[in-house]
Structure 1
Amino acid sequence: MEEKSKDAIVLFIKFGSEENIKSLYENGLIYLNTIDYFQNLEDNGVRGDKFEGTVNIKNFKHTDEFKLEITDTITGEKMNFKPGKLQLRHYDSNPKGNLYSLYCIKQSDFLNTDEFIIDSKVKEFGTHALFIRNTKIFIDKLTDEITKLNMPYKAKPIEYYEPENINGEINLFQKIQQYKYQSEYRVVVKNNKQEPLKILIGSLKEHSEMFAMNSLNDLKIIANKIKL
């Protein structure tokens, strides 16, 4: 299900290759890769997230109570040391499901300013971008097609957290603070098969505009407020 929020989403942006963005623009082709794919993706932290699939984090503040022992399995030699800090993370070793992510700009982003500047790091996501202005129609089309597949889903913006300041369960709608610049809206589909999903929702030409990333110099969004 899509979670309703008082903080309305005013714009979706999808970044990618020219081929993929053009296919989304003209045909509405949406590709949802597996959770496992993103968990193991090695791209210097651009899309891959080493915390993806984390289900629980435990930070130990009083590390003087702990001693770690390392054993050389060949010689049997043991080494002991006390850690300066200790964090345990538990992962889902066999995550099942598919993810689809969009950059989202929310109403609250303009509470104290008329300008919203998109972090230039998003240019690492691809060469082209699709600006989807009718966000409700887009999500309705996507979730309608997922419903036809009889697959449970959930869709909402990501919450960002500091991994050193959290203790407890983590879900797929939480990511570490270093990825906040991605301003991610995520769709998670439960799928017992470890395979990507391809969904067609039809042309988005009436609801979006396609741009080459090198034409977006400062990636600045201006809100012109209407005076009543």
Structure 2
Amino acid sequence: MEEKLKDTIVLFIKFGSEENIKSLYENGLIYLNTIEYFQNLEDNGVRGDKFEGTVNIKNFKNTDELKLEITDTITGKKINFKPSKLQLRHYDSYPKGNLYSLYCIKQSDFFNTDELIIDSKVKDFGTHALFIRNTKIFIAKLTAEITKLNMSYKAKPIEYYDHENINGEINLFQKIQKYKYQREYRIVVQNNKQEPLKISIGSLKDHSEMFAINSLEDLKITTNRIKHKT
């Protein structure tokens, strides 16, 4: 019988500009942008996500009996066509709240391998990275500061889904499979104001290291393989 292991977080990585990562490393300065910002950000799908704020998706696979009609409201001319497939997405019309994201490496990532590969696409996030070893202290400090602001929050790893086949409700801790390489851990802060938050949790020098992203090609994340008891 296989023993079920708790899937703990072993490492956070934050990517960004040299200035922002240095500020995080030295002063613990954390910037949480709005949900609306990420929904509307146009950066070729690096940070911006048109699915952000989606609350429901409906995919129509059998469109044989489905007909769409487009009407020109000025001339009254109508155009009818049959789509080969159709997807309807319902968005939160005025999404409120702030997001903070981290690259997350979990214990389960090493269940079947001794080495983890960081996708080269993370280079699109900036020039530098901060490896945060003590993930519990980091989250504890961040959430403590959020609580001091009398704000509520939720924090957990993102689940990735197939947006072309899913039918049903979607929440802020679900993203399409295109972004799976980001291994995202997300903190969502409820905020009635549409404005960014800046929070300082103090220096991270005692439990983190700063790297240039180009050096990631020379770094290997390895572990002794976790053995399952039977």
Range into which the TM-score falls when normalised by the shorter chain:
over 0.9
Q: Which residue identity is paired with 1:43?
A: D
2:193 corresponds in structure 1 to 193
Aligned-residue sequence identity (percent) comes to 87
1:138 corresponds in structure 2 to 138
Q: Distance in 1 between matches of 2:161 and 2:123?
A: 23
Q: Distance in 2 between matches of 1:183 and 1:115?
A: 15
Which stretch of the first structure deviates more once superposed, 183-192 or 63-72?
A: 63-72
Which stretch of the first structure deviates more once superposed, 57-66 or 199-208?
A: 57-66
Aligned-pair CA distance for 1:6: 2.4
Aligned-pair CA distance for 1:32: 0.2
Aligned-pair CA distance for 1:222: 1.1
Correspondence 1:1-228 to 2 at 5 A: 6-217=6-217, 220-224=220-224
Closer, same or farther: CA 41–219 of 1 in aligned 2, 3 Å: farther
Q: Distance in 1 between matches of 2:175 and 2:27?
A: 31
Aligned-pair CA distance for 1:196: 0.3
Q: Distance in 2 between matches of 1:122 and 1:56?
A: 28
Could you state the TM-score of these two structures normalised by the residue count of structure 1? 0.94
C-alpha distance after superposition, 1:43-84 (max 9, x if no partner): 000010010000000111221121001123343221101111
Root mean square deviation of aligned Cα: 1.5
Matched position secondary structure for 2:122 = helix
Closer, same or farther: CA 49–226 of 1 in aligned 2, 3 Å: closer
Structure 2: which 5+ runs fail to align? none
Q: Which residue identity is paired with 1:66?
A: L
Q: Distance in 1 between matches of 2:86 and 2:112?
A: 38
Could you state the TM-score of these two structures normalised by the residue count of structure 2? 0.93
Q: Distance in 2 between matches of 1:171 and 1:80?
A: 34
Q: Distance in 2 between matches of 1:183 and 1:219?
A: 18
Q: For the Cα contact (< 8 Å) 2:26–2:204, is it kept in 1?
A: yes
Q: Distance in 2 between matches of 1:18 and 1:135?
A: 21
Q: Distance in 2 between matches of 1:168 and 1:226?
A: 36
Matched position secondary structure for 1:165 = coil
Aligned-pair CA distance for 1:225: 5.6
C-alpha distance after superposition, 1:176-208 (max 9, x if no partner): 000000000000000000000000100000010
Matched position secondary structure for 1:80 = strand
Structure 1: which 5+ runs fail to align? none
> Alignment length, in residue pairs?
223
C-alpha distance after superposition, 1:140-168 (max 9, x if no partner): 00011111111010000000000112111
C-alpha distance after superposition, 1:111-140 (max 9, x if no partner): 011100010000100000000011000000
Q: For the Cα contact (< 8 Å) 2:70–2:78, is it kept in 1?
A: yes
Aligned-pair CA distance for 1:220: 3.1
Q: Which residue identity is paired with 1:216?
A: L
Q: For the Cα contact (< 8 Å) 1:118–1:219, is it kept in 2?
A: no
Matched position secondary structure for 2:172 = coil
Q: Which residue identity is paired with 2:62?
A: H
Q: For the Cα contact (< 8 Å) 1:15–1:130, is it kept in 2?
A: yes
* Runs of 4+ more than 6 Å apart: none
